[in-house]
Every structure is written in structure tokens, then in C-alpha cells.
Chains A and B, each alone.
Chain A
Amino acid sequence: MGTTVTHAPAMEGLAKDSEPRHGPVNSPRPAALKRRGRRETLAGYLFMSPWIAGFLLLTAGPMIASLYFAFTDYNLFDTPKWIGLDNFSEMFGDPRWRHSVKVTMWYVVVGTPLKLLLALGVALLLAQKRRGQAFYRAAFYAPSLIGASVSVAIVWKAIFADDAIVDRTQKVFGIDVGGWTGDPEMIIYSLVALTVWQFGAPMVIFLAGLKQVPRELYEAAEVDGAGPMRRFWNITLPMISPVLFFNVLLETIHSFQIFSSAYIVGGGAGSNACGPADGSMVYTCYLYVQGFENSRMGLASAMAWMLLVAVALVTAVLFWSQKRWVHYEEGAR
């Protein structure tokens, strides 16, 4: 607004606020402006007051409390007792904790790339506008809505049980490994299958990104004789890299926090275990067991902070790496 030089003569009457050389005649104007600014600030904070209250009471406050609990011995009933780093040394020395880290890592490292690859592949397929595209898109998206529910976890357990449908189907192909949910090594892959089944949500995001790639780029490349693979690597992938980044970030962070499905498929209600030989004891399950089943709130808080540190590290690495591979259109932001 201040740069409308060409209109300066005509706008003089309106632009006076920013021209103090007119002297005392206009002095009330800046004051009014300041008052308006203050009113705006007041309105802003008033509108935001629910969020601010929520942030202080339910996010910032609890985070500080959690950090404090992490250094205490706290069982909910007695006052927390400061024990320094004991929770952390107990945690690192606990084979079950290390096991839960391993299980979670497998889940994240295998599940997330598979899910995103499938999402991208199917998005490329659906990006071709053909009859039925909208139907397939909706149908592929549906599992993402119900995948986190207890219902699906129960059904999943039935599907991957011994002698159930997956076991029988793989036997048809001569694979005899038994049901996945009864096997300490395999149960985590039934959870991987469950997350891959929900590829629809990242797929929808990929599709939206693909829709924004300018057609001319492909036409120009085709004229230059670039084949489909070249077009994918040199046009599609760089153009959707911001969307890819977003998906990788969100899916990875979510994967670290898997709880309900592991808890249900592992079937450990108050049993201090999760799955056969803790096969599906993911990180948050162990956190729940220690905190709410064993009443070790201090230890569980320390575990939660380790999770936060891990997630923050992954986020930081991803943000750091995006300089190298994420391509933002000029003027897009």
C-alpha cells in the first residue's frame, strides 16, 4: 500500500497517516492508528484465548511437568521423589525397553517406505483421468479412515491367526510359516501389513500434488524425446518433492506413535505383555505398561521424553535433508 507512488497525488488525502511532515494537524491520526493496533492485538488474543488456555494448560504445562517427572520416582500416590538420571539408566539397561525400540524401528523402517511407495505408485496410476478414477480413489482411501479403530485391529487378528485366511492362502503358495499373530517374529509384520493397507491417505496427498504439475512440462519433454522413466525422474519427482517431504515427515512421526492396533493385536489387557514373547511390544505399548499397569509414572515420563527426542531428531534430519532433494517452485511460498 505504501508503494502506490503513481497514485500519490490522488491518494494524498488518504495517505496522510504516513506523512508526518504535514505537522500537528494530523497528529491525532497516528495516535488513532496506534489505538487501532492495540485494539487489533486485543481482538487477536481474545479470539485466540481458547487456544492459549489449551496450550498453557494441556501442552506447555504438562510438558514441563513431564520433564520433571522424568527425573523422579513417582507412582501417582506418593509425592514424586527426585532420583536424578536413574530412570534413564534403568531404561537403557532394560532389555525389554531395548526390545521395544527394536520392534518399533522395524515397524517404522519397513512399514513407512512400503506404505509411501505403494501410495505413490497407485497415485501415479490414478493420476490418469479415466472413468472410475473417483471411485477407485474413494475406495482406496476408505481403509485410512477405519484402520486405526479397534474393530479393524480385532479383524486383523482374526485374519492373521493360525490356520486363518492368510495362513491358508500362503500355504497355497507353499509358504508354511503359520499364522503371523502367533509368531513372535512375524506379528510385527501383521502390523506392517495393517499400516500399508492404509496407504490411501498419503495417496490422496500425492494425487493432489500430481494434479499441480504443469502439463506443458511433460509436453515439452515428450517433444524432446524423453521416455516415461526420464519424465518421472526429471519432472514428476522434483515437482512433487514438497508433497513427498510432507508425507515422509507425517507418516514417519505417526509410525513412531503406533499404539492401539499393536495393543489389540498383541492382546495384552492388564497382562503386562504385548503379543507372543512381546512380539508386538512397540514403544508406546511398553510406555503404557510401565506407566499405567506398573504405576511407574516417572519412568514412563522418561520414556516419553526419549520418544520426543527421537521424533525431534528425525524431524530435524528430514528438514536438514530437504535442501538437497526438495524442490520448491519459485514464488510458491
Chain B
Amino acid sequence: MSAQATDITPARSTKGGNFRRRLPGSLAWHLGSFAILAVILYPVIWVIGGSFKKSEEIIGSLDLFPGDPIVSNYTGLADGIADISISTFFVNSLTLALGSVVGILVSCSLTAYAFAKIRFAGRNLLFTLMIGTLLLPYHVLLIPQYVLFRNMDMINSYTPLLLGKYLATEAFFVFLMVQFMRNLPKELDEAARLDGCGHFRIYWSIVLPLCRPALITSAIFTFINSWNDFMGPLIYLNEPDKYTVSLGLKMFVDQEGVANYGGMIAMSLVALLPVLAFFLAFQRYLIDGMATSGLKG
């Protein structure tokens, strides 16, 4: 991308004698971009440096990097939180995140296929309702959903956190997939229909494989959202050995308080690792997915 991009220089540069004008402009551009980057990354670098400092050294020091680096903030994590190993929280979060990804991929793609590829009575009304849920504040549903799951005796289980994912309640992903499916060439599924293919065959063998980019984007966003989710686990889980990483972190902070700033920061960074790994591996899918969501709204 960037290699291509540099070939297509702005219109201005096609004018003659631009060499003197282009160089300062380019310098200003790089300086500006780098300055923004520095401000954004400043806290990040401070935190990474801080995780190798002694707790007393973290607050009350402007130094980005420790004078005398230590690793005990990280090795201390092996003790776990409240007698529960850190790995338990990671396994819990991972279970929930992967469970969510499967649910979203199946339920949202089926729904999106109906919206994008099947003509049926009531489709437009349902589509409007679906878009409406996109703007609905989640907090209106918070209490009645809690009451519902409580009456079904599902508190302190993962069902309340997963059920919605299998019932396509995340309208954003349905919308993303609908947009993608609508842009697929019609000829493909029309030809398949003429050959006598049913909708499920078309969905499974033609549309889904072509939707790979949208599916990957949805999967990554779902994973990250589930990993970052705090309110859901906070409300529905009440036994520490079922806690997710987010809840474990919160528990850690409540227990250790200011005394163990170093451990807190180290744990926070470790908790972010899966998200950062996903970002580094798939940033193109994330950014493109984000971009299309806004364009065709």
C-alpha cells in the first residue's frame, strides 16, 4: 500500500519546478505526523518503562525509563490474584472470546444473507428495526436482561454473556456483512439459482467464501470487544474463579491499591497483549472494516 501510494504523488507535484516546494512540505508533514505520534505514544512508553520500575519510582518521576530496571513486577504476577492463577482469568476470557466469535460468525452471517440475498415480505421493516437496535443504548436492556437471566437461574454462568452473540443481537456485524454481501456480483448466485441450488447451498458455498474479509473483520472485532468487555462480566459473574481478565484486573487493583503500582501496570500490559497481537496481525482488516462501516451508512 505505502509503496504504491508514494508513486501516486499529489497533483501539485506534477507541476514543473516543484522540487523546492515539495521538500519543505514533506518535512512539515513528517514533523507533524511524528509530533502527534509522540503525544499519543508518550503515555504508552511511560507505562512500559514504568512496568520495569520499582513502585515508589513510578509516581513522582518523569523519567520514561527506569534507572535500575527490575522484572519483579512481572514475576510477581505468577503468584496470581487472590489465590487464583492469572492463567485462569486468561482461559476464561479466551473461552468467552472464542465462543463469541463462533456465535457472531454463524448468526450474523445467516441474518445478513437473508437481508442481502433473499426477497421476502417484511424484509425492509425488519432491516429498519435492526438498524434501530444499532442506536439503542445498551443500558435500557441491562436491567430487564439481568432479571430475565436471573429468573432462568443463569447468573454466574457464561450463558448471559454468550447467548446474544448466537442470536445476532450485535447489529453492527449484521450491517457490515449485509453491506459486503450486497456488493458481491449478483450473477454468481443467480447462476447458482438457475442451476437449482437452494439458499443454503448458495450461502455456504458461494456467499460465505466470498465474504471472507467481512468475516475476518467481524471475528477480530468480536474477539477484542469480548476481551475488553467489563460491564457484562461485572454484572453476571460473581465467583472469582469464573472472572475474566478485566474483572481479575479490577479485583487486583482493589486489593493492592496504590501500594503495588508496578504490579498493577505490569498486569494491565499483560492483559492487553492478546489485543495488541491481533492488531499487529490484522490491522488492515480492522481499519478497512472500520472505514466501510462509515462510508455506506
Q: Do A and B come from one complex?
A: yes
Residues of A near any B CB (own CB < 8 A): 40-41, 43-45, 47-48, 50-55, 57-59, 61-63, 65-66, 69, 76, 122, 125-126, 128-143, 145-146, 148-152, 154-156, 158-159, 161-165, 168-169, 197, 201, 204-205, 207-209, 212, 215, 218-219, 222, 242-243, 246-247, 249, 253, 256-257, 259-260, 263-264, 267, 269, 284, 287-288, 291-292, 297, 300-301, 304-305, 307-308, 311, 315
Q: Are B268 and A151 in contact (CB under 8 A)?
A: yes
Smallest Cβ distance from B199 to chain A, in angstroms? 5
Residue of A nearest to B106 (CB): A50
Contact (Cβ within 8 A) B118 A125: no
**Extra pairs beyond A62-B145, A291-B142 (7, CB < 8 Å):** A43-B118, A45-B114, A54-B167, A136-B33, A142-B276, A164-B58, A197-B40
Question: Chain A contacts of B264 at CB under 8 A?
Answer: 154, 158
Q: Are the CB atoms of B279 and A145 closer together than 8 Å?
A: yes
Per the bound structure, the CA–CA distance linking A209 and B290 in Å amounts to: 12
Looking at the complex, which of B1-9, B68-76, B77-85, B209-217 is the stretch in contact with chain A?
B1-9
Q: What is the CA–CA distance of A239 and B121 in the complex, to the nearest angstrom?
A: 36
CB of A103, distance to nearest CB on chain B (Å): 16
- Once the chains are docked, how many angstroms separate the CA of A43 from the CA of B115? 11
Chain A contacts for B191, CB-based, 8 A: none
Residues of B within 8 A of A263 (CB): 230
> In the assembled complex, which residues on chain B have CB atoms less than 8 Å from the CB atom of A45?
114, 120
Q: Which residues of B contact A212 (CB under 8 A)?
A: 295
Query: In the bound complex, do residue A165 and residue B46 qualify as a contact, i.e. CB atoms below 8 Å apart?
Result: yes
| Chain B contact residues, CB within 8 Å of chain A | 1-2, 5-6, 8-11, 26, 29-30, 32-33, 36-37, 40-41, 43, 46-47, 50, 58-62, 106-107, 110-111, 113-115, 118-123, 126, 129-130, 133, 135-148, 150, 163-164, 166-169, 174, 198-199, 203, 224, 227-228, 230-231, 235, 246, 249-250, 253-254, 261, 264-265, 268-269, 271-272, 275-276, 279, 283, 286-287, 290-295, 297
Ordered by A's residue number, 6 sampled pairs between the chains whose C-beta atoms are within 8 Å are A48-B115, A134-B2, A149-B272, A246-B297, A264-B250, A307-B137
Closest A residue to B103 using CB positions: A50
Q: Which residues of A contact B43 (CB under 8 A)?
A: 155-156, 159, 165, 197
B118 touching A40, Cβ below 8 Å: yes
Output the least CB separation between A62 and chain B (Å).
4
Which chain A positions have C-beta within 8 A of B286?
141, 145
Pick the residue among B169, B224, B275 that contacts A54 (CB under 8 A): B169
In the complex, are the beta carbons of A205 and B291 less than 8 A apart?
yes
Give the residue of A129, A163, A204 whose beta carbon is less than 8 angstroms from that of B290.
A204
Is the pair B268, A131 in contact by a Cβ cutoff of 8 Å?
A: no
Contacts of A219 in B (CB 8 A): 11
- Cβ distance A305 to chain B, nearest Cβ, rounded Å: 7
Q: Verify B144–A301 contact, CB threshold 8 A.
A: yes
Give every chain B residue within 8 A of A215 (Cβ-Cβ): 11
Asked whether A57 lies within 8 Å of B36 as measured between CB atoms, the reply is no
* Contacting residues, chain B, for A209 (C-beta < 8 A): 294-295
Q: Which residues of A contact B6 (CB under 8 A)?
A: 129-131
In the bound complex, CA of A61 to CA of B46 (Å):
47
Minimal Cβ-Cβ distance residue in B for A64: B144
Tell whether, in the assembled complex, residue A159 and residue B46 are in contact, meaning their CB atoms are under 8 Å apart.
yes
Write out the residue numbers on chain A whose beta carbons fall within 8 Å of the beta carbon of B166: 50, 54
Q: Name the CB-closest residue of B to A305.
A: B140
Q: Which of B41, B61, B164, B292 contacts A208 (CB 8 A)?
A: B292
Pick from A129, A137, A140, A308: contact of B136, CB under 8 Å: A308
Q: Which residues of A contact B62 (CB under 8 A)?
A: 165, 168-169
Alpha-carbon separation in the docked complex, A66 to B136 (Å): 13
Q: Is the CB–CB distance between B60 and A50 below 8 Å?
A: no
User: Which residue of A135, A205, A288, A307 is within 8 Å of B295 (Cβ)?
Assistant: A205
Which of B41, B111, B137, B144 is within 8 Å of A50, CB to CB? B111
